[in-house]
Amino acid sequence: MTADRRFSFRWDVDHRACITDGLPRIRAVCRDLGVANTFFINMGRSTNLGEWLSGLKGTRNKLKDRDAVHLIAKIGWPRFILETLLGRPVGLSFPADLRALAAEGHELGLHGGMDHVVWSRRFAEIPEAVLEADVRRSYDLYVSYFGRPTGFASPGFRSDERVMRLLDRLGFGYNGDAIGGEPARATAAGRPLGHWTIPVTLCGPRTIPFLEWHGARGTPEETVLEEVDRHLDQHPLTVMYGHPCYEGVRDALLRRVFERALAKGFRFVTHAEIGAGLTREAAK
């Protein structure tokens, strides 16, 4: 790998509010600073009435979680109820907005299958054939609207070797299904596969995005930025992630984080660029 400083921010576009509320603000910040980000697009629905009703205990626990900001707090009860009842798709509803995003130099990738809640809550229970059919349907729809994606990210980082093998068969260049560590070859049954795993390097506990975690805890903004500074000083490759319906609408803080990285000499790269660099290095 090269020794230059690289910064990559990845967005999981889970919900329609990510596109309507967060995307315009993120695009404005990126245009002003001349940087590109990576966006993983959920082609299916973000909420599922049956899953929410059958998992009320889990929902109540999420509402009490002091380390994260629940979806309802992010988008409000009226929109949460509306989207849960209607089950409208995310990426399929906004192709023009997403094509415009790509035209500005941002990378688009695929985020899971066609039901974000089922994947996030019951991933381990899904039979492999059902999982593959779900991903292939989402993949085919994505290709028909946006062309072939290079990258894939599983909802909630819920992934395993079934997903890794499938991504190889579909020709993905990388997955984003890890937190911590360095980029490395994806593996299955202890054997290296043809694509890479690009982890998030700066995150809150569990899989909570760094900025959301601090937001839930009420951390002063200057303290958050000081922690970002410490991480940047220690890691020549920094990868952060978030959701446009949360970090995206807090664009003043997002701008300050990006400005911090630029001031420290970091070069903004997409995940696809990281993966391409890994492939070049491996070929030497």
The pLDDT assigned to 2 comes to 42
| Alpha-carbon distances of 232 from 11, 69, 240, rounded to whole Å | 19, 25, 11
The whole-number average pLDDT for the span 246-262 is 98
**pLDDT value, residue 59:** 58
Average pLDDT over the chain, rounded to an integer: 94
pLDDT cut 90: percent of the chain above it:
89
Mean pLDDT over 168-180 rounds to 98
Specify if 107 maps to a domain. Answer: yes
* Each residue's pLDDT tens digit, 31-51: 999 999 999 999 999 988 888
Average pLDDT over residues 241-254: 98
User: Lowest-confidence range among 56-60, 182-186, 244-248?
Assistant: 56-60
Q: What is the mean pLDDT of residues 21-30?
A: 98
Task: Using pLDDT thresholds of 50, 70 and 90, give the confidence band for residue 60.
Answer: low
The pLDDT of residue 8 is above 90:
yes
What's the pLDDT band for 53 if we cut at 50, 70, 90? Answer: confident
| 179 located within any domain | yes
Range of the domain at 278: 6-283
pLDDT digits (tens, 9 = 90+) for 110-123: 999 999 999 999 99
pLDDT in tens, 128-157: 999 999 999 999 999 999 999 999 999 999
Average of per-residue pLDDT across 12-20: 97
Residue 152, in any domain of the structure: yes
The answer to whether position 1 is within a domain reads no
Residue 270 lies in a domain: yes
Determine the pLDDT at residue 55.
Answer: 63
Residues 194-225 have pLDDT tens digits of 999 999 999 999 999 999 999 999 999 999 99
Instruction: Please report the pLDDT score of residue 1 as a whole number.
Output: 38
Which CATH number do you get for residue 219?
3.20.20.370
Mean pLDDT (whole number) for 166-180? 98
Q: Is the pLDDT of residue 190 over 90?
A: yes
State the total domains in the chain. Answer: 1
Whether pTM exceeds 0.85: yes
Q: Is residue 132 part of a domain?
A: yes
In a domain, 52, yes or no: yes
Q: Would residue 51 count as lying in a domain?
A: yes
